[in-house]
Amino acid sequence: MKLVNKHIDKDGKGYVTLRPEEDEDMWHIYNLIQVGDEVRAPAIRRVQNTTTTGSVSSERIRLNLTLEVTRVEFSPGASASTAPTPGNNTGDTGTASLQISGRVTSENQYVKMGAFHTLDLEANRDFKLGKEEWDSVALERLQEACVEGRGADVGAVVCGEGTAAICLLSEHMTVIRQRIEVPVPRKRVGSTTLHEKEQGLNRFYSTLYAALLRHLPIATLRVIVIASPGFVRDAVYDYIFAEATRTNNRTILSARSKFIRVHITSPHVHSLVEVLRSPEVSSQLRESKFAREGIALDKFFKMLANDEMRAWYGPEHVRLAAERGAVGTLLISDELFRSNDLKERKKYVELVERVRQGGGEALIFSSMHESGQQLNQLTGVAAILTFPLDVEVVEQEEKEAKEEAEKEAKEEAAVNGA
């Protein structure tokens, strides 16, 4: 995403002008825009004109509208598979889209003040976003979104016998570029011959190979993972390089060192969490955001099983741990910062700031990655503590402190009343 213009005051009020360029930019914008913000963007409006003779005509007018946001809707452009047909039951993805609804706050000759309208934000079209307060989390998201050269690092083929998903993993999104389902007959005595099974497998490998070439930017990716239960990944890997050798595909042949085979427990996209935790992948992507998140989440779950006094989760428990300076690593979902309740959002922003000021690390997980979805199932916020704390003891201390504060407040009120 390109930052075209920026003007933010010392008190945090201001605006930015942005130009989204790809699907992931739409995801960043979705996380930046809050209810109550102002968005100014191009729109097309159908206008009716009445002539002096009474005839009515309509025309489409392009204009710029400014809305006070009441609703934001994001569609990631997920893939859709078609009905199974041998060798060609694939579904391509659409592009991500973002719709902003709200009341018009700047009148023009075609639209009245206060009228409701919906804006479609589009790639390569500038729009202006104004906020009453740009908090630290929003500014961090803005900075990340505008880093040049940011893009997908990992391509992944998650497969089983006859099924596959071709995926791209960027810093904040897992995008399924294509799903594949090709019927492969099972070998049964007297019904299915070995030849028929091999024919089905060859159709599957051929379809997968074509999808790989079409959807993965092999030359620019750092790692390409082939993951499956059993030995399907080995057969797919062998077919890819046999076919590349036969057709003299130099792009794939020169990228052989990027291909990594990883075992997973099920042939589904959610198994990508296992892929990112695998030593083969994490060693090559140690500095990438989503790899750090996957490793941290794995560490949290292991600690929850073996050292539960250092693994806390839930908003209130994590807040208590942060107040005692015990949080070494905060794991928090970006979904929590999309709350329409400003007080709720501020609560989580303050939690992130408190942890960082205390020397801890705060990882904001993307809910468009499988690791973020796992964290959301665990309330969306968790913490790895630097030293053990007993939940019951801390809660009792908190209760006693609250009761003492209430008692002092009553005594002070009694003195003032006297």
User: Do 103 and 20 share a structural domain?
Assistant: yes
What does the alpha-carbon distance between residue 124 and residue 12 come to, in Å, rounded to a whole number? 27
Which DSSP string do the residues of 119-136 spell out, in sequence order?
Answer: EEE-TT--EEEEES---H
Indicate the residue among 96, 111, 145 that finishes a domain: 145
Neighbour count for residue 366 (Cβ, 10 Å): 25
If you average pLDDT over residues 391-403, what whole number do you get? 78
Burial zone of 113 (CB within 10 Å; 0-12 exposed, 13-18 middle, 19+ buried):
exposed
Sign of CA dihedral 303, 307, 309, 314: positive
| More confident of the two residues 159 and 291 | 159
For the chain, what's the residue count? Answer: 418
User: What average pLDDT does the chain have?
Assistant: 85
Give the pLDDT band (50/70/90) at residue 91. very low
Give percent of the chain above pLDDT 70. Answer: 90
Indicate the residue among 109, 126, 145 that finishes a domain: 145
Query: What was the pLDDT predicted at 131?
Result: 95
What does the alpha-carbon distance between residue 375 and residue 378 come to, in Å, rounded to a whole number? 5
Strand partners, 49: 57
Q: Is 50 within a domain?
A: yes
User: Do 193 and 174 share a structural domain?
Assistant: yes
Report CA 194 to chain centroid distance, whole Å.
Answer: 43
- The pLDDT of residue 86 is above 50: no
pLDDT tens sequence across 41-82: 988 777 777 766 767 777 778 888 999 999 999 887 644 333
User: Do 138 and 16 share a structural domain?
Assistant: yes
User: Do 254 and 160 share a structural domain?
Assistant: yes
Q: Is 320 within a domain?
A: yes
pLDDT tens sequence across 164-194: 999 988 878 888 889 999 888 776 655 557 7
Query: What was the pLDDT predicted at 418?
Result: 59
Give the pLDDT band (50/70/90) at residue 287. low
If you average pLDDT over residues 201-222, what whole number do you get? 92
Q: Is 57 within a domain?
A: yes
Across the beta sheet with 97-104, the strand order is: 2-8, 14-19, 127-131, 38-50, 56-75, 97-104, 116-121
User: Do 179 and 241 share a structural domain?
Assistant: yes
Neighbour count for residue 201 (Cβ, 10 Å): 19
Indicate the residue among 231, 263, 285 that finishes a domain: 285
Phi-psi region of 127 (alpha: psi -120 to 50; beta: other; left: phi over 0): beta
Query: What was the pLDDT predicted at 396?
Result: 81
User: Do 280 and 217 share a structural domain?
Assistant: yes
What does the alpha-carbon distance between residue 185 and residue 199 come to, in Å, rounded to a whole number? 9
Q: Is 418 within a domain?
A: no
Query: What was the pLDDT predicted at 190?
Result: 56
Can you give the CATH number for the domain in which 45 is found?
2.30.30.870
What does the alpha-carbon distance between residue 174 and residue 156 come to, in Å, rounded to a whole number? 10
Can you give the CATH number for the domain in which 360 is found?
3.30.1330.30
Task: Let me know the angle formed at the C-alpha of 276 by 273 and 278, rounded to the nearest 5 degrees.
Answer: 110
What does the alpha-carbon distance between residue 30 and residue 152 come to, in Å, rounded to a whole number? 19
Query: What was the pLDDT predicted at 211?
Result: 94
What does the alpha-carbon distance between residue 361 and residue 296 come to, in Å, rounded to a whole number? 11
Q: Where are the alpha helices (DSSP H) in 147-231?
A: 194-215
pLDDT tens sequence across 301-357: 999 999 999 999 999 999 999 999 999 999 999 999 988 888 899 999 999 999 999
What does the alpha-carbon distance between residue 144 and residue 353 come to, in Å, rounded to a whole number? 17
User: Do 177 and 131 share a structural domain?
Assistant: no
Query: What was the pLDDT predicted at 154?
Result: 87
* Number of independent structural domains in the chain: 3
pTM for the full predicted model: 0.76
User: Do 228 and 203 share a structural domain?
Assistant: yes
Can you give the CATH number for the domain in which 180 is found?
3.30.420.60
Residue 265 · residue 271 · CB < 8 Å: yes
| More confident of the two residues 243 and 198 | 243
Task: Let me know the angle formed at the C-alpha of 147 by 143 and 151, rounded to the nearest 5 degrees.
Answer: 125
What does the alpha-carbon distance between residue 222 and residue 260 come to, in Å, rounded to a whole number? 11
Query: What was the pLDDT predicted at 87?
Result: 39
Strand partners, 103: 68, 116
What does the alpha-carbon distance between residue 158 and residue 279 come to, in Å, rounded to a whole number? 17
Q: Is 258 within a domain?
A: yes
User: Do 300 and 240 share a structural domain?
Assistant: no
Query: What was the pLDDT predicted at 51?
Result: 66
Task: Let me know the angle formed at the C-alpha of 314 by 312 and 319, rounded to the nearest 5 degrees.
Answer: 80
User: Do 47 and 30 share a structural domain?
Assistant: yes
Give the pLDDT band (50/70/90) at residue 88. very low
pLDDT tens sequence across 251-277: 999 999 999 999 998 888 888 888 877
- 390, two tokens: 């007993």
Domain residues for 82? Answer: 2-145
- The pLDDT of residue 89 is above 80: no
Q: Is 342 within a domain?
A: yes
User: Do 279 and 162 share a structural domain?
Assistant: yes
Q: What is the CA radius of gyration of the chain?
A: 27
Query: What was the pLDDT predicted at 81?
Result: 32
Q: Is 131 within a domain?
A: yes
What does the alpha-carbon distance between residue 97 and residue 122 come to, in Å, rounded to a whole number? 7
- 264, two tokens: 């997973």
Q: Is 410 within a domain?
A: no
Query: What was the pLDDT predicted at 187?
Result: 64
User: Do 280 and 176 share a structural domain?
Assistant: yes
